[in-house]
Structure 1
Amino acid sequence: MHFLWSAILLGLGPWLQEPTAQEAPRNVGRFSLSVDPDSLDPLKSTNTVNQVIQRQIFEGLAEPDPLARPFQVQALLAQSWEVSADGKQWTFEIREDASFYDPYEQPLWPDRRRPVYAEDVVYSWLRLMDKRSASSASFVLEDLIEGLDEFRQRTGRNEKEAQQAWKEAMAGGLPGLQVLGPRKLKVRLKRPSSDFLFRLASPYCVVYPREAVETEGRRLSDQPIGSGPFILVHWITKYQAILRQTPGWRGQVCPFDPERSLPHLQEVQFTFVPEGSTRVQMFRSGALDRLPPNGANYNSLVRDGKPVPELAEKGVRLLRQDPSGTSLLMINMDDPVLGHVPGDDVGNAKRRLLRKALALSFPYRRWHEVLRQGVLASSSRGLLPPGVPEADPNQDFGFRRPTRQQGVAEAKRLLTEAGYPQGKGLPALVLELQGTANIHKTMGDLIAHGWQEAGFKVQVQSNRYSEYLEKIGKGEAQCFTRGWYLDWPDSSVMLEMFYGPNASGGGINASRFLHPEYDRLFAEFRSMPHGPKRNQLAHRMQEILFQEVPAFSIDHPIGYQLVQPWLRNVAIHPYDFFVCKYFRIQQP
């Protein structure tokens, strides 16, 4: 933080100048992130900030089509694919012109590049599923490809067994993962999967070279090597990351202008700016090409659904994205004060009442007014965002009451029923924040005040984002907010967040919720095509979450982007939201 402010004061004076469209730098995209990434290793891709930079460097077999509606995927590293009549066997042909590029000192290959092979796909997926990797993204391929779960189990037994599993898998493949030629891969699924290609197009299934992981002195976390259109050339922690166009990249037809080839930008700059007011100042001065007008800054930038006159006169555009995610308050179910203690039926009933009291006394209205400016989210009636097939608008799985007074009164009653009238005898709860900026402090104070009205004592703990993630991964966070977004248009992405097997090893089940019926229903749900039966299963799973309260939904964020007049080819996509290869700077 001190380094960043020094940079602003001493070296970035142009931020404060009044620009015009003609002053936009040629072929350089300039963007900001509220925090810097903690790793560029694809194993850490569930962190959204990591994802943003990784998306520019790495590629998978497929990617979301930026313009197709309803949503579809398009080929990327894969030249083509074929699928069997039963929907279980997929055969992929990898592009002959796809190659990795190593920009660092002492490159891995004499000319800095080598082709992408089918074996690289196998290696990347195996590493994702290796239990020792502790990747929270392993859910994307779990219980899907024949033999892959067995490989995962072997890697978790002991080091010798893990090494043998790797040796066998790389030499002869797995029953459902076979290299048929240098650029030909066969995948056999356990069951037909309508979202298989969407999974491969997600940020979790990208491909990278084995040498970048296993060569001594190399780390993907800060020396990422991919096949994408950009390479990392500069990264100063807590300040800035700079990417440049990959030398000799193969090119790609621009979907916005088929006569042009991607990428358009020569350089992409990500500056890490924790304070929202500073990001606004940078955008107003023309130092940023796009900006989400979030939180307390919204009303100073947007009026009546349009950019304020000062920005509109310059040609700034406002883009809107419908909700594709849910904001939640998560509760650690391993916590002895609020969670589930095996064998303690009486105590568990009381702790369930406490969790419901927290949900009832949450300050939903103030949250919407202060943090969402009344427009940046839609009210939540449950876990699933509107628009997915299983989200039933006639069912309410939320805890928000018609009036604040009703919610607080119910919460007080439950506190008394649990044996803690007016909170007496109950230890102070700890709310972990995911940042240290003013917006995070405002969020913490708002939640704490709401809970205190019901009788809870609350300690608000600020964290750096990396500390926040570490506490969640280790099960040390008692209460915390979390945003979870669909990675592709399927409810399983949301419901999987509470699936028992995802609770271990830093998995996506951050509440560490374990419920046999829920797990059974989800296992059936994810292999079922859309229809009434699937809707029934989703309904029952939401009922369980509503009854047990390992988390409760707050709202469904609505995404907005302010875009400078010179930045072209910007289309907000809910499942692929920051793809710099499409962006083009309009030249004067």
Structure 2
Amino acid sequence: MHNDVLSRCCSGALLLCKWLLTIVFSIPFISEKTSAGTNPADPAKVVRVAFEAADDGFDPVRTANAYSNWVINGIIEPLMTYDYLARPAKLIPNTIESMPEILEEGRVYVFHLKKGIYFAPDAAFKGKPRELTAQDYAYTLKRFLDPKNHSPSANFLSGKIVGMDELVAQANATGRFNYDAKVAGLQTPDPYTLRVTLKQADYNFLSILAYSAFGAVAREVIETYDGQTQSHPVGTGAYMLQKYMPHSKVILVANPNFRGYVWDFKSSGSLEDDQIVRDMKGKKMPQIGRVEINILEEEQSRWLAFQSKQLDFDKLPQTVAPTVLSGDRLKPEFIKQDIHLYRQVEPSLTYTFLNYKDPIIGGNSLEKIALRRAIIMSYSVDQEVSKMRMGQAVKSEMIIPQGVEGFDPTYRSSVGYDPELANKLLDHFGYKRGTDGYRTLPDGKPLVLKFAVASGTDKMIQSEIWKRGLDSIGIQSSFAVSNFADNLKAATLCQLMISPSSWSADFPEGENFVQLLYGPNAHQSNHACYASAAFDALYEKAIALPTGSARQPLYIQMNRQLEADSVWSVGVSPVRNWLIRPWVKGFKKHPILRADWQYLDIAPH
């Protein structure tokens, strides 16, 4: 999933033009009383947090923006979720009675839903309680494959479910997706049973269905708010959207219909887990009744907000890390404030993509590959770690980050920082320097690299690192600053020449990262618009195998193929330092789950 700052980037702000017409979206409560839920949340318990970049709406079909999915994760519910404390990440039932039956060697999955789960109250339900059914999940999955939705997450399901390809083909031919059509691979024999049949075994299918985007939505909600679904999310989760001010503020409140649960996660044996269990075990959840999210893109603004206790927990801004940390620990003045530090290397990856379809730098001719490789060799990841991230990152060598199955700690990239060799490469392929010191294309036409970057001090530093490196090899560059959501939209349309980006794990297996370079995923998650028959063949062979050691050699070959074609400059895995005020109880950042509010408590302060 596209992460802001780093950029786990995808999807587009499809409704921004409409958002400009309305400054504030307020979603009112439906006031009728219902006995469907037993949500114990306390309206007086408020958690205040910040996002580093703006969302692009909350319709799961239309976004892969990490911040959108953070909110979505608190509102809609997938069939499965993750154990809050278990590491490595462990799937557990969510809206289903138990983990699914798996039949026919991994081709058939049978899910049995819990009874008595209700959607949050909404005008679309005309004042009546609306129970969650298996049909809601079937409808949700179909929406991702409806061609008119152009879902950036469609690749998770495309070509997998028996009978769905035919329905998609019919929709492409007629211009209308028939949601009422029966699909052999997507059956609901009764209101609480969902049976999914795949064309072939997919060893990550359960993890895919646990991705927050595949939480159930109600058809009547989508049809009621047609064209405005990004500002009207309605689900069965712990929270519901109360107020939405795009690019500024999001407020969630407790869903009165949420069934609640008792906090009963098991410690992994660490002292930190033991303390969390002592603080939380046996509590009726959620405790927090209101979540206030402010969009604060500037690091200094977020830091000032945390210092003034306007935020209850936040990521430590990289620029102030030397002020706050001594190595991997808090300095004494912050320990005295009873601030808690939670530190982790995120299962995410930063990279800069070079558009394989761009008329200037794209293509598979030797001179174009040489140009892209020289560009990559001009960039110092070490400078990014030290100057942009203040040491709060780990340099990546491969396209699968640590913490994700498929990562090889011994792997070393064949394309590294080497401006001297980059200059020789460009000289050899006829990229001559002009009187101004900058190179032209071999045919004498101008060569100017156009970067699309997001705003922010750290992005400025990264742009300066790129410019210095490119100047050293005689390539002229320009940097256009735009907001995160607009860059994502342009990237899905293959309209950006070069842009920094990132991806955070949707599930902890390497397929989630290598799919970013699979040819058919162009206009979805493949923003480099990379199309390599060799890479695609390796990808298809890998995903047909069980996860684990069988896939590892193929993941290594895919890395080498990417290096040969040079369409990514691989960056870092960020080290995230979460600062938590002492009144926040139960905090442990999960590598996959985003919305953690329903697992926390706020003590009096």
TM-score higher than 0.5: yes
Query: Matched residues in 2 for 1:389 and 1:224: separation?
Result: 32
User: Is 2:248 the partner of 1:249?
Assistant: no
How far is the alpha carbon of 1:294 from its aligned partner? Answer: 3.0
| Residue of structure 2 equivalent to 1:425 | 440
| Residue of structure 2 equivalent to 1:196 | 205
Counterparts in 2 of 1:411 and 1:217: CA distance versus 1, 3 Å: closer
User: Is 2:248 the partner of 1:232?
Assistant: no
SS at match of 1:243: strand
User: Is 2:507 the partner of 1:488?
Assistant: yes
User: Is 2:150 the partner of 1:134?
Assistant: yes
Query: Matched residues in 1 for 2:225 and 2:85: separation?
Result: 42
How far is the alpha carbon of 1:389 from its aligned partner? Answer: 4.2
| Residue of structure 2 equivalent to 1:13 | none
SS at match of 1:545: helix
Q: Is the 8 A contact 1:445 1:460 kept in 2?
A: no
Taking structure 1 as the reference length, the TM-score comes to 0.88
| Residue of structure 2 equivalent to 1:99 | 118
Taking structure 2 as the reference length, the TM-score comes to 0.85
Counterparts in 2 of 1:76 and 1:532: CA distance versus 1, 3 Å: closer
Q: Deviations over 1:455-489 (max 9, x none)?
A: 11010110012221122122111000111122112
Aligned length: 539
Greater mean deviation of Cα atoms: 361-370 or 491-500: 361-370
Match for residue 223 of structure 1 among 217, 232, 252: 232
Q: Residues 258-269 of structure 1: matches in 2 within 5 Å? A: 258-269=281-292
In structure 2, give the amino acid aligned to 1:418: F
User: Is 2:342 the partner of 1:319?
Assistant: yes
Q: Is the 8 A contact 1:87 1:192 kept in 2?
A: yes
| Residue of structure 2 equivalent to 1:534 | 551
User: Is 2:470 the partner of 1:451?
Assistant: yes
Greater mean deviation of Cα atoms: 307-316 or 506-515: 307-316
Q: Residues 504-583 of structure 1: matches in 2 within 5 Å? A: 506-583=523-600
Q: Is the 8 A contact 1:35 1:273 kept in 2?
A: yes
In structure 1, give the amino acid aligned to 2:233: P
Q: Is the 8 A contact 2:345 2:393 kept in 1?
A: no
| Residue of structure 2 equivalent to 1:12 | none
CA RMSD of aligned residues (A): 1.9
How far is the alpha carbon of 1:447 from its aligned partner? Answer: 1.4
Counterparts in 2 of 1:533 and 1:230: CA distance versus 1, 3 Å: closer
Q: Residues 301-320 of structure 1: matches in 2 within 5 Å? A: 301-320=324-343
SS at match of 2:342: strand
Query: Matched residues in 2 for 1:155 and 1:72: separation?
Result: 37
How far is the alpha carbon of 1:100 from its aligned partner? Answer: 1.0
**Unmatched segments (≥5 aa) in structure 1:** 1-24, 402-406
Q: Residues 129-528 of structure 1: matches in 2 within 5 Å? A: 129-159=145-175, 162-163=176-177, 165-168=178-181, 172=182, 174-215=183-224, 219-254=228-263, 255=265, 256=277, 257-340=280-363, 348-374=365-391, 376-401=392-417, 407-422=418-433, 423-426=438-441, 427-433=447-453, 435-503=454-522, 506-528=523-545
Q: Is the 8 A contact 2:73 2:594 kept in 1?
A: no
Query: Matched residues in 2 for 1:86 and 1:361: separation?
Result: 48
**Unmatched segments (≥5 aa) in structure 2:** 1-42, 266-276, 442-446
Counterparts in 2 of 1:71 and 1:216: CA distance versus 1, 3 Å: closer
Q: Is the 8 A contact 2:341 2:579 kept in 1?
A: yes
SS at match of 2:124: coil
Greater mean deviation of Cα atoms: 555-564 or 418-427: 418-427
Q: Is the 8 A contact 1:212 1:218 kept in 2?
A: no
Query: Matched residues in 1 for 2:90 and 2:58: separation?
Result: 27
How far is the alpha carbon of 1:339 from its aligned partner? Answer: 0.5
Query: Matched residues in 2 for 1:387 and 1:440: separation?
Result: 25
How far is the alpha carbon of 1:150 from its aligned partner? Answer: 3.4
| Residue of structure 1 equivalent to 2:271 | none
| Residue of structure 1 equivalent to 2:136 | 120
Higher RCO (C-alpha 8 Å, min separation 6): 2
Query: Matched residues in 2 for 1:49 and 1:389: separation?
Result: 24
Query: Matched residues in 1 for 2:194 and 2:555: separation?
Result: 34
In structure 2, give the amino acid aligned to 1:585: I
Q: Is the 8 A contact 2:376 2:569 kept in 1?
A: yes
SS at match of 2:125: coil
Match for residue 95 of structure 2 among 77, 80, 90: 77
Q: Deviations over 1:136-174 (max 9, x none)?
A: 111222333222333333333341xx33x4331xxx3x1
Q: Is the 8 A contact 2:96 2:111 kept in 1?
A: yes
In structure 2, give the amino acid aligned to 1:155: A
SS at match of 1:558: strand
Q: Deviations over 1:481-535 (max 9, x none)?
A: 11112211211111111111111xx310111111112112211211201355422
Query: Matched residues in 2 for 1:152 and 1:557: separation?
Result: 39
Q: Is the 8 A contact 1:295 1:370 kept in 2?
A: no
Query: Matched residues in 2 for 1:39 and 1:155: separation?
Result: 25
SS at match of 2:97: strand
How far is the alpha carbon of 1:245 from its aligned partner? Answer: 0.5
In structure 2, give the amino acid aligned to 1:221: Q
| Residue of structure 1 equivalent to 2:36 | none
How far is the alpha carbon of 1:192 from its aligned partner? Answer: 2.8
Match for residue 110 of structure 1 among 126, 146, 152: 126
Q: Is the 8 A contact 1:26 1:587 kept in 2?
A: no
User: Is 2:108 the partner of 1:89?
Assistant: yes
In structure 1, give the amino acid aligned to 2:312: D
In structure 1, give the amino acid aligned to 2:601: R
SS at match of 2:88: coil
SS at match of 1:83: strand
Spell out structure 1 runs of 4+ moving beyond 6 A.
none
How far is the alpha carbon of 1:567 from its aligned partner? Answer: 0.8
SS at match of 2:173: coil
Query: Matched residues in 2 for 1:585 and 1:387: separation?
Result: 30
Q: Deviations over 1:544-584 (max 9, x none)?
A: 10100111211222222111111111111111133211121
Query: Matched residues in 1 for 2:338 and 2:172: separation?
Result: 56
Q: Is the 8 A contact 2:113 2:134 kept in 1?
A: yes
Q: Is the 8 A contact 1:321 1:573 kept in 2?
A: no
Q: Deviations over 1:333-365 (max 9, x none)?
A: 11011101xxxx7xx210100110011110222
Query: Matched residues in 1 for 2:346 and 2:224: separation?
Result: 42
Q: Is the 8 A contact 1:45 1:203 kept in 2?
A: no
Q: Is the 8 A contact 2:62 2:149 kept in 1?
A: no
Query: Matched residues in 1 for 2:410 and 2:157: separation?
Result: 33
Q: Is the 8 A contact 2:89 2:591 kept in 1?
A: no
Query: Matched residues in 1 for 2:248 and 2:49: separation?
Result: 12
Q: Is the 8 A contact 1:273 1:279 kept in 2?
A: yes
How far is the alpha carbon of 1:26 from its aligned partner? Answer: 4.6
Query: Matched residues in 1 for 2:347 and 2:226: separation?
Result: 40
How far is the alpha carbon of 1:284 from its aligned partner? Answer: 0.9
In structure 2, give the amino acid aligned to 1:49: Y
Query: Matched residues in 2 for 1:302 and 1:454: separation?
Result: 36
SS at match of 1:415: helix
Q: Is the 8 A contact 2:379 2:465 kept in 1?
A: no
SS at match of 2:162: coil
Counterparts in 2 of 1:253 and 1:143: CA distance versus 1, 3 Å: farther
SS at match of 2:179: helix
